[in-house]
């Protein structure tokens, strides 16, 4: 029996690609889209189709259904037929799938409505900066009633920083309404993420707003992913941030060791999924290559001077506490932390930690800290005041490593 290419394709269930391979040539990507009207002419243009062959190799990997692809400017898109991309108001960003589809990306800016998964909320005039004032908001509509969470990936996020005295986001801010409460953030947080609880049912659209005032070269590109209630990528309840690796890095918003200011009025939790066969977790302050004395953990005190570790929730901070009283205004809380270098470990443990040195004991020496309280979570709290006692604090950046159950945990 002679097997034709079309028969082979039918066996492989690659319907779309079969039709194309059987002779239909996809339409040329549309280069004069509405994107040019909204974002100006500085956007990239889809590169010319580079199809090497009219026929796919029969045994090549052929994805079934939309697959993700990367646009030349870094966005993640879906590889779908060109006409579908335009019908859904997407932007064709170059060929994919061997030239049989386009990498279709979805962008929205001020006033837009997000109706596609993995849509990017970008600043006006993106990828150039935006120096306007007002409120720029997009509304996120659930794709399905069974969407429980949104994940926001701050691919690019640079808006005006908090003011210098009390680190309040008075000039610019990112506000999220309609979902679970989220802290107001500002400044630079490229690479950070947030999970928003979207509640049940179809109603309650979530609105993302960036409020701007005064002059600043703002740039943002926030990827909005919708997460099904039954998805394995769903974060645990109440986790603003959620990490799923054995080791990784957690940090506060607007963190950087040079000029980042710890944001005031924060109150949220960071969750680290307990990986199989791991029973404990260790934390270390991240390396700080810019300062003589590390500023990777500077939560309270005047961090232009050496500030010790302060532990406890009040009253029992130990002799090294400069202002007395332990961590009562700004703190990081990790359940029952101990210094990892004590053998045998100290009998007591601490929960709140603040000051300017990361350790589980009061003192000037940074230490590796460990905890076996599960689930692995960190709670971060700051009040609305910094000056005059708390000056130039950067917040925190910690590297974590989960510890195997055989390692004394
Ligand atoms: Ca404070």
Structure tokens at 82: 């060109």
Cα 200 to middle of ligand 1, angstroms: 35
Whether the Cβ atoms of residue 121 and residue 140 lie closer than 8 Å to each other: no
How many Cβ atoms are within 10 Å of 344's Cβ, its own excluded?
6
C-alpha 381 – ligand 1 centre gap (Å)? 9
CA separation, residue 260 to residues 103, 181, 319 (Å) = 36, 24, 30
- pLDDT digit string, tens, across residues 89-129: 999 999 999 988 999 999 999 999 999 999 999 999 999 99
Instruction: For residue 298, list its beta bridge partners.
Output: 395
- At residue 89, the pLDDT reads 95
Query: Which 3 state secondary structure label does DSSP give 58?
Result: coil
Between the CA of 190 and the centroid of ligand 1 the distance, in Å, is 23
- pLDDT higher for 132 or 23? 132
Q: Where are the domains of the chain?
A: 19-39+67-105, 113-234, 247-404
Comparing 38 with 284, the larger pLDDT belongs to 284
Contact by Cβ (8 Å): 82, 26? yes
Is the distance from CB of 278 to CB of 268 less than 8 angstroms? Answer: no
Question: Ligand 1 centroid vs 324 CA: distance in angstroms?
Answer: 15
221 CA distance to ligand 1 middle (Å): 29
State the Rg of the chain over Cα.
Answer: 25
User: How far is ligand 1, taken at its centre, from the CA of residue 167, in Å?
Assistant: 8
Distance (Å) from CA 378 to ligand 1 centroid:
18
CA of 407 to the centre of ligand 1 (A): 37
Q: How confident is the model over 40-72, as pLDDT tens digits?
A: 434 433 343 333 334 444 444 444 456 899 999
Residue 315: the pLDDT is 55
Q: Which residue has the higher pLDDT, 179 or 53?
A: 179
* Cβ contact 30:43 at 8 Å: no
pLDDT at position 201 is 73
* Ranges 27-41, 63-77, 169-183: which has the least confidence: 27-41
Centre of ligand 1 to C-alpha 240, Å, is: 20
Residue 345's pLDDT is what?
A: 81
Kindly report the backbone phi and psi dihedral angles of residue 82, in degrees, each rounded to the nearest multiple of 5, phi listed first: -55, -45
Q: Ligand 1: distance of its center to the CA of 383 in Å? A: 5
Confidence of residue 407 (pLDDT cuts 50, 70, 90): low
Q: Hey, which bits of 229-366 come out as E strands?
A: 241-243, 247-251, 267-272, 278-285, 297-298, 309-311, 331-339, 350-355
Centroid of ligand 1 to alpha carbon of 260 (angstroms): 15
Check: CATH 2.60.120.290 for 247-404? yes
Å from CA of 321 to ligand 1 middle: 16
E-assigned strand segments in 252-319: 267-272, 278-285, 297-298, 309-311
Torsion angles phi and psi, residue 197, rounded to 5: -75, 120
Buried b (16+ CB within 10 A) or exposed e, 214-250: eebebbbbbbbbbbeeeeeebbeeebbbbbeebeeeb
Q: How far is the CA of 329 from the centre of ligand 1 (A)?
A: 6
CATH fold match for the domains 113-234 and 247-404: yes
Q: What are the residues facing 226 on neighbouring strands? A: 150
Q: What percent of the chain has pLDDT over 70?
A: 81
Q: Is the pLDDT of residue 23 over 70?
A: no
Name the nearest CA neighbour of 380 among 330, 313, 327: 330
What is the rounded distance in angstroms from the CA atom of residue 303 to the CA atom of residue 24? 66
The pLDDT value given to residue 159: 98
The predicted model gives 252-262 an average pLDDT of 96
Q: pTM for the full model? A: 0.82
Q: How many residues does the chain have?
A: 409
Top-level class of domain 113-234: mainly beta
Strand partners, 394: none
Q: How far is the CA of 308 from the centre of ligand 1 (A)?
A: 17
Distance 195 CA to ligand 1 centre (A): 24
Residue 264 CA to ligand 1 center (angstroms) comes to 6
Q: How far is the CA of 8 from the centre of ligand 1 (A)?
A: 66
Distance 341 CA to ligand 1 centre (A): 30
Query: 262 CA distance to ligand 1 centroid (A)?
Result: 8
Q: How far is the CA of 202 from the centre of ligand 1 (A)?
A: 38
- Counts for the chain of helices (H) and strands (E), in that order: 4, 23
Closest C-alpha among 335, 318, 140, 350 to residue 227:
140
- Mean pLDDT of the 203-220 span: 94
> How far apart are the C-alpha atoms of 218 and 157, rounded to whole Å?
8
């Amino acid at each position: 029996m002679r097997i034709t290419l079309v028969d082979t394709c039918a066996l492989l269930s690659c319907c779309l690609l079969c039709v194309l391979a059987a002779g239909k040539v996809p339409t040329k990507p549309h280069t004069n889209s509405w994107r040019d009207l909204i974002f100006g002419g500085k956007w990239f243009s889809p590169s010319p189709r580079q199809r090497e062959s009219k026929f796919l190799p029969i045994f090549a990997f052929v994805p079934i259904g939309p697959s993700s692809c990367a646009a030349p400017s870094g966005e993640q898109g879906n590889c779908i037929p060109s006409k579908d991309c335009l019908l859904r108001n997407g932007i064709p960003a170059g060929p994919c799938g061997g030239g049989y589809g386009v990498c279709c990306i979805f962008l929205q800016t001020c006033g837009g409505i997000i109706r596609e998964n993995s849509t990017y909320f970008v600043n006006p005039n993106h990828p150039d900066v935006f120096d306007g004032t007002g409120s720029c908001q997009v509304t996120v509509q659930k794709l399905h009633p069974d969407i429980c969470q949104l994940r926001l990936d701050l691919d690019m996020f640079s808006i005006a920083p908090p003011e210098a005295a009390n680190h309040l986001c008075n000039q610019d801010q990112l506000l999220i309404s309609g979902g679970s409460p989220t802290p107001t953030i500002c400044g630079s947080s490229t690479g950070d993420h947030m999970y928003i609880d979207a509640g049940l049912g179809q109603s309650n659209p979530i609105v993302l707003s960036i409020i701007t005032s005064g002059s600043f070269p703002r740039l943002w590109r926030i990827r909005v992913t919708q997460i099904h209630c039954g998805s394995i990528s769903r974060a645990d309840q109440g986790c603003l941030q959620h990490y799923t690796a054995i080791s990784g890095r957690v940090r506060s918003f607007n963190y950087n060791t040079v000029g980042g200011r710890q944001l005031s009025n924060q109150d949220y939790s960071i969750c680290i999924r307990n990986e199989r066969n791991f029973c404990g977790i260790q934390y270390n302050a991240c390396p700080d290559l810019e300062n003589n004395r590390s500023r990777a953990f500077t939560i309270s005190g005047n961090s232009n001077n050496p500030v010790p570790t302060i532990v406890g929730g009040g009253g029992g901070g130990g002799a090294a506490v400069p202002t007395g009283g332990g961590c009562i205004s700004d703190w990081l809380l990790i359940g029952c932390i101990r210094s990892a270098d004590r053998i045998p470990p100290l009998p007591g443990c601490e929960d709140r930690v603040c000051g300017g040195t990361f350790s589980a004991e009061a003192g000037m020496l940074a230490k590796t800290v460990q905890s076996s309280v599960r689930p692995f979570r960190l709670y971060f709290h700051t009040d609305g005041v910094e000056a005059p006692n708390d000056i130039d604090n950067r917040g925190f950046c910690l590297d974590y490593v989960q510890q195997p159950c055989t390692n004394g945990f």
